[in-house]
């Protein structure tokens, strides 16, 4: 069984969600235990075994993944196994499920009060800079902003996230979310910048995980450059 990170998120009963940790799974060595990415050097057969195990565990017929490149591209998923070239994915197909893979960036899960939509966003500082969050919600302008339900999953904490002057300049609108560390570096509060962007969009029903991916429960690129990716997943319950 793939173990999960537990967080309470108030969503309609026909919406399911799951966030993995790295406590149990089939991955080995530096990828132990539940890596879901085929792009980080692990034997793809082990990754696929983790995916199959999770699909069976959650009774899912398919999972739509993203080939994440820190873009601002949003695409629609279907009820088939897919890998889409984007950093935001959504579906209204009741047989679909959407996944985001992370190891410090924020996994963002999205639905709305009537459960007509599911989606997820991959958001690091580059994605925030290129307005990946804004682009996602602009795709769904017919839904009232107050009707959205959003979960900000585990990501790297401010205490562990040092960035340079360039990052600060790109996101200086949110300067209150930075602390000066040295003459050329800052500590950056990634999760609360994402929260501020959502607030600016008029989205107030936001659940925030305070878990830091730098600890041993998750994968962290900042901690170990060669490492796995954990999965955050949302679907329509059958």
What's the pLDDT at 144? 97
Q: Judge whether 6 lies within some domain.
A: no
What's the pLDDT at 10? 97
Q: Does residue 185 sit in helix, strand or coil?
A: strand
Q: Judge whether 2 lies within some domain.
A: no
Number of domains in the chain: 1
Q: Judge whether 9 lies within some domain.
A: no
The CATH number for 159's domain is: 3.60.140.10
pLDDT in tens, 57-106: 999 999 999 999 999 999 999 999 999 999 999 999 999 999 999 999 99
Q: Does residue 160 sit in helix, strand or coil?
A: helix
Domain that holds residue 68: 15-236
Q: Judge whether 227 lies within some domain.
A: yes
Which position has the token pair 């796995």? 228
Q: Give, for 17, the enclosing helix (H) or strand (E).
A: strand 15-19
Query: Which residues share a beta bridge with 176?
Result: none
Q: Judge whether 64 lies within some domain.
A: yes
What's the pLDDT at 116? 97
Q: Judge whether 1 lies within some domain.
A: no
Kindly give the confidence (pLDDT) of every residue in the chain, 238 residues in length, as a single tens digit, with 9 standing for 90 and above. Answer: 999 999 999 999 999 999 999 999 999 999 999 999 999 999 999 999 999 999 999 999 999 999 999 999 999 999 999 999 999 999 999 999 999 999 999 999 999 999 999 999 999 999 999 999 999 999 999 999 999 999 999 999 999 999 999 999 999 999 999 999 999 999 999 999 999 999 999 999 999 999 999 987 999 999 999 999 999 999 999 8
What's the pLDDT at 11? 97
| Cα gap 119→97, rounded to integer Å | 8
Q: Judge whether 8 lies within some domain.
A: no
What's the pLDDT at 238? 83
Backbone angles phi, psi at 114, to 5 degrees: -95, 5
Q: Judge whether 76 lies within some domain.
A: yes
Report residue 53 as tokens. Answer: 């195990």
Residue environment code for 173-200, b if the CB has 16+ CB neighbours within 10 A, otherwise e: ebeebbeeeeeeebbbbbbbbbbbbbee
Q: Does residue 48 sit in helix, strand or coil?
A: helix
Cis amide bond preceding 185, omega within 30: no
């Amino acid at each position: 069984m793939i173990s999960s990170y537990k967080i309470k998120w108030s969503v309609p009963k026909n919406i399911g969600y799951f966030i993995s940790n790295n406590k149990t799974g089939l991955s080995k060595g530096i990828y132990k235990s539940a890596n879901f990415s085929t792009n980080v050097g692990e034997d793809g057969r082990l990754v696929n075994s983790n995916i199959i195990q999770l699909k069976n565990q959650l009774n899912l017929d398919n999972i739509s993944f993203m080939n994440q490149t820190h873009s601002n591209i949003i695409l629609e998923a279907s009820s088939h196994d897919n890998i889409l070239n984007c950093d935001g994915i959504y579906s209204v197909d009741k047989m679909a499920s959407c996944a985001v893979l992370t190891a410090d960036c924020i996994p963002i899960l999205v639905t709305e009060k009537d459960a007509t939509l599911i989606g997820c966003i991959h958001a690091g500082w580059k994605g925030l800079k290129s307005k990946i969050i804004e682009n996602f919600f602009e795709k769904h302008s017919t839904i009232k902003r107050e009707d959205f339900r959003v979960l900000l999953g585990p990501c790297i904490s401010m205490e562990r996230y040092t960035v340079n002057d360039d990052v600060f300049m790109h996101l200086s609108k949110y300067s209150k979310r930075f602390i000066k560390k040295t003459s050329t570096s800052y500590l950056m509060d990634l999760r609360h910048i994402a929260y501020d962007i959502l607030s600016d969009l008029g989205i107030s029903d936001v659940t925030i995980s305070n878990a830091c991916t730098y600890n041993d429960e998750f994968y962290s690129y900042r901690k170990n450059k060669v490492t796995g990716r954990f999965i955050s997943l949302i679907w329509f319950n059958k």
